[in-house]
């Protein structure tokens, strides 16, 4: 007989909180009729228009219920990581490196878009908009496959995958079930996951996690203030201009503190 749900929630506090958060965000998106363009991450929006806050909002946002269910089911199974303190994992490790996975996998996806756009001239990737928690899910699959290769990943209570192959098996499975699934997003999660699992990225302590989280929060709030109409009366950004340029007539007399750039139509969307 399995454990009562309440005990499993207590044993997986971080996973439970993330699942609750993603589910609440999904409900809000459905109620407010929010779309990919509102919360998703694309190269043009994040890099060109500097809407850096989208790296965070895209990770916790799901538009499709199937996408949400698949990601949260996999995340619940991966919550076993929070109980493996004896092999160097545990709740603290899980909390620290979840933040790392969210940020670094987002940056890696944007870097891959940059390469495809500027090196291979695939302009399509400028406006491909990605949403979802899959980067983090695939990252944790990969870390667990390195740290605990004998484990299994249970999906929907009917499918049990050897964790050593789970990232790549899940990549194929997701592509079949959810055709819009982002190959680049999942690949980014796997790459960052191996980097953490093999010790190429390490050294996150409570202190550095708080510092990392603090600067991420500041950067997101600043970016949100500068690039959106979201009301933040507690934060005002004063315009900075060179008086000499004004005398030369190079500045418009009524230049505001920020300039809103209207985004083009979304040409594609990826479920990450």
What pLDDT sits at residue 83? 93
Is it true that domain 5-271 has CATH number 1.20.1540.10?
yes
Q: State the Rg of the chain over Cα.
A: 20
For the stretch 54-67, pLDDT in tens is 999 999 999 989 88
What pLDDT sits at residue 160? 79
Residues 146, 191: Cα–Cα separation, whole Å:
12
Are 151 and 144 within 8 A, CB to CB?
yes
pLDDT, average across residues 238-252: 46
Q: What pTM value is reported for the model? A: 0.84
Higher pLDDT, 266 or 106: 106
What is the average pLDDT score of the chain? 85
Dmax (CA) for the chain in angstroms is 80
What pLDDT sits at residue 175? 74
Give me the active site residues, please.
134, 186
Single out the residue of 175, 35, 191, 22 nearest to residue 107, CA to CA. 191
B/e letters for 182-202, b = 16+ CB within 10 Å, e = fewer, are bebbbbbbbbbbbbbbeeebe
Higher pLDDT, 256 or 25: 25
What pLDDT sits at residue 151? 86
- At 242, the pLDDT band (50, 70, 90 cuts) reads low
- The neighbour count for residue 206, using CB atoms within 10 Å, is 10
3-state secondary structure of 257: coil
- At 69, the pLDDT band (50, 70, 90 cuts) reads very high
Extents of the domains making up the chain: 5-271
pLDDT, average across residues 14-41: 95
Are 204 and 96 within 8 A, CB to CB?
yes
Residue 111: CB partners within 8 Å, gap ≥ 6?
none
pLDDT, average across residues 109-125: 96
Lowest mean pLDDT among 149-153, 186-190, 248-252, 268-272: 248-252
What pLDDT sits at residue 237? 60
pLDDT, average across residues 165-171: 83
Q: What does DSSP say about strands 268-271 and 152-155: parallel, antiparallel, or unpaired?
A: unpaired
Residues 187, 108: Cα–Cα separation, whole Å:
9
3-state secondary structure of 242: coil
Residue 185: CB partners within 8 Å, gap ≥ 6?
105, 109, 130, 132, 134, 135, 270, 272
What pLDDT sits at residue 182? 85
- The neighbour count for residue 257, using CB atoms within 10 Å, is 11
pLDDT, average across residues 33-60: 95
Is 34 a residue whose pLDDT tops 80? yes
Higher pLDDT, 79 or 169: 79
Lowest mean pLDDT among 59-73, 164-178, 179-193, 196-210: 164-178
Backbone phi, psi, residue 19, to 5°: -60, -45
Tell me the CA end-to-end span of the chain in Å, nearest whole number.
34
What pLDDT sits at residue 57? 97
- At 263, the pLDDT band (50, 70, 90 cuts) reads very low
């Amino acid at each position: 007989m399995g454990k009562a749900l309440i005990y499993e929630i207590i044993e997986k506090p971080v996973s439970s909180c993330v699942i609750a958060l993603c589910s609440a965000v999904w409900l809000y998106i459905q109620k407010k009729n929010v779309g990919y363009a509102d919360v998703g991450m694309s190269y043009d929006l994040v890099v060109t228009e500097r809407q850096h806050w989208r790296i965070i909002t895209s990770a916790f946002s799901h538009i499709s219920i199937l996408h949400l269910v698949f990601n949260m089911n996999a995340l619940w199974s991966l919550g076993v990581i929070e109980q493996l303190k004896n092999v160097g994992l545990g709740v603290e490790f899980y909390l620290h490196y979840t933040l790392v996975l969210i940020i670094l996998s987002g940056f890696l996806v944007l870097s891959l878009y940059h390469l495809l756009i500027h090196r291979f001239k695939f302009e399509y990737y400028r406006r491909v908009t990605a949403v979802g928690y899959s980067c983090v899910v695939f990252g944790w699959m990969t870390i667990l496959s390195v740290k605990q290769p004998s484990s299994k990943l249970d999906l929907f209570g009917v499918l049990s995958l050897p964790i050593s192959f789970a990232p790549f098996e899940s990549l194929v499975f997701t592509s079949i079930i959810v055709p819009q699934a982002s190959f680049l997003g999942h690949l980014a999660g796997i790459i960052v996951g191996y980097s953490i699992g093999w010790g190429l990225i390490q050294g996150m302590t409570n202190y550095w996690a708080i510092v990392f989280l603090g600067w991420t929060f500041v950067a997101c709030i600043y970016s949100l203030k500068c690039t959106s109409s979201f009301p933040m009366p507690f934060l005002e950004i004063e315009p900075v201009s060179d008086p000499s340029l004004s005398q030369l007539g190079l500045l418009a007399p009524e230049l505001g503190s920020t300039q809103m750039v209207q985004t083009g139509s979304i040409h594609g969307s990826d479920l990450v």
